[in-house]
């Protein structure tokens, strides 16, 4: 057995979560640019004490 294997499932409050492979697609934004700016601003972290906002 591989010593460096990582579990792809975990159980939280009785619910099993399974990780999928990373998404390698490069989607292009097709919406309004102002909305994209607002979403990116909500996720921006400037300081270690910042918490990202939920858009």
pTM > 0.85: no
Place of tokens 């999928």: 20
**Do 55 and 42 touch, CB atoms closer than 8 A?**
yes
Write the pLDDT tens digit of every residue in 22-38: 889 998 888 899 988 88
Q: Of 41 and 13, which is predicted with more confidence? A: 13
* Full DSSP string of 14-55: TEEEE--PPP-------S-HHHHHHHHHHH---STT--PPP-
């Amino acid at each position: 057995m591989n010593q460096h294997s990582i579990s792809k499932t975990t159980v939280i409050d009785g619910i099993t979560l399974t990780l999928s492979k990373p998404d390698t697609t490069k989607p292009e934004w097709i919406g309004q640019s102002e909305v994209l700016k607002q979403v990116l601003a909500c996720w921006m972290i400037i300081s270690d004490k910042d918490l990202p906002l939920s858009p």
